[in-house]
A and B are shown apart, each in its own frame.
Chain A
Amino acid sequence: MIADFFFVLFAVMAIGGAISMVLARNPVASLLYLVVAFFALSGTFVLLDAHFIAAVNLIVYAGAIMVLFLFVIMLLNLGRSEKVDLRGPLNRIVAITVAGAFFALLFVALSAGSQTEMAGGMGQATVDAMLQSRGAVGVVADPMFRSYLVPFEITSLLLLAAIVGAIVLARRRAP
C-alpha cells in the first residue's frame, strides 16, 4: 500500500523530471531536472529491493556523471545564443517516428513478459530472505563475479575505450 504510493510518487517525479529536462531552455536547468529524474529512479530501485543499484545510481549518475555533463555544457558555451537548429519539419517527422517506434518496442516487450518472469520468478519472501542472508551488496556481487564474469571483464575494456576516446578527442590539435 505504502509501496504503491511511493511507486506512483517516484514515477511521476521521474517522468516529470525527464519532460522538464527536454523542455527547459537553460541547459543547466535541464541538467538539474535530469538529477531529479535520476533520484526518482533510485527510489524505484529501492522499491524493487535493488538497494546497491540505487546507491550506485545516486553516487555515479546523479553525482559524478552529472558533473561531467556540467563540464560539457560549460565547454560548449551554450546559452549565449539560443539557436534552434532541430526544428525543421523533416526533423520533427524523424523524431516522432523514432520516438513512436521506441515506444511501440517498449510496449511489446513489456506486455510480452509477465511481471513474475521479469523478477526472475522470485516472490517477495525469497528476495527478503536473500537480502537477509547475504546483504544488499552480496546479492549483486555473487552473480556478478561468478556467473557474469565475462561481462564484468568486458566492462573494463569499455572503461579503457572511454579513457582512450576522451584523450584522443581532447588532445587533438586544432587544424
Chain B
Amino acid sequence: MTDAMTKPAASPGPQSADAPLIQVRDLHRVYTRSRTSLLKPPGQVHALRGVSFDIRKGERFGIVGESGSGKSTLLRLLCGLDTATSGSIRFGGQEIVGKSERQLKFLRKELQLVFQDPMSALDPRMRVRDIVREPLLGQRHPDPVGRVKELLTAVGLPPDAGDRFPHQFSGGQRQRISIARALAPQPSVLIADEPVSALDVSVRAQILNVLADLVDEFALTLVFVSHDLSVVRHVCDTIAVMHNGQLVEVGPTEKVHNASAHPYTRRLVAAIPTIRRALAGVGAADLARGMVDAGHDPTDTDRDEVA
C-alpha cells in the first residue's frame, strides 16, 4: 500500500455539521475460491481491501470503477445482501455488518435498489401494479392502490401501465418500473447500480432526468454506481474511484474529474472518448497514449477476476 491510497481513507469527505448518513470504515471482503487441489488450500480473492468513506444525507455519491474493481461487492455489503469479512458500515448510526436479516428490516425500508438490467430484476409473470405494490405489503400501507398510481405517474408511465406485464415495455420503461418499485417504501437512500448502462443514448438521457427529478422531489440520498465516469460526473456531486478493491480517490466531482490526484483516475479520464475531443482531432491512438502519459499506476497489479 502506498500513501496515495490510504489518504482518502483517512480523511472522509467534506465535513458538515450533521453526522454522515452512511459511514463505512476499513471494509474488507475476502472470497474463497472453489478448491482446485486436495493438497493446497483454496485460493482467495481480496475483493475489498480496507474501504472507508462517508455519505452525507442528501448527497449524490458516485462510485466509479472498472469490472473487477470491487464496486459490486461494495454495493452488496451496503445493502446488507452480503457480509463483510471485517470492518464496519453504519447506517444512520446503526451497525449493519454481521446483523441478521431480522435486524436489517429497517434497512429494507430505508434503502432501495435499482439494478442494471430491469428485465432480470422484474418478475416476468407479475403485472406491473403487483410488482410496484409488493414492497408495500410488508409495510401494511393504508392505500396501496392509490400509492401505486402515484408512483407510476411520478416515474412518467401511462396510467394503464399497471395492468400490463414487464415484457410489454421497452428497456427504458422497464427501468422506470424498477425505479417506481424502489421508491414504493419511501426510502431515504436510493442505490442505482449501472441503471443506464443497458439503455440507448436517447433513453439514457430520459432515465437520468427522471432519477434527478425524483431525487429532488423526495429529497433522496443517491448512491450511483457506474463504470462510466462521464455519466457519474453528470449525476453526482461526490465521486469515489475504485480500483483493485480500494478507493483510490474520493472528492467533489469537478476536482476528481479535472484535477485528479491519482494516476488511475487520470488514466480513466484520459481513456474516455468524447465527441468534442474527437472533433478536435483526438484519435484512438491519442486516447491510448493519453493513458500512458497519465502515469504508471502503482496499484495496477494483475489480479484474479472474481468468477
Binding between chains A and B: no
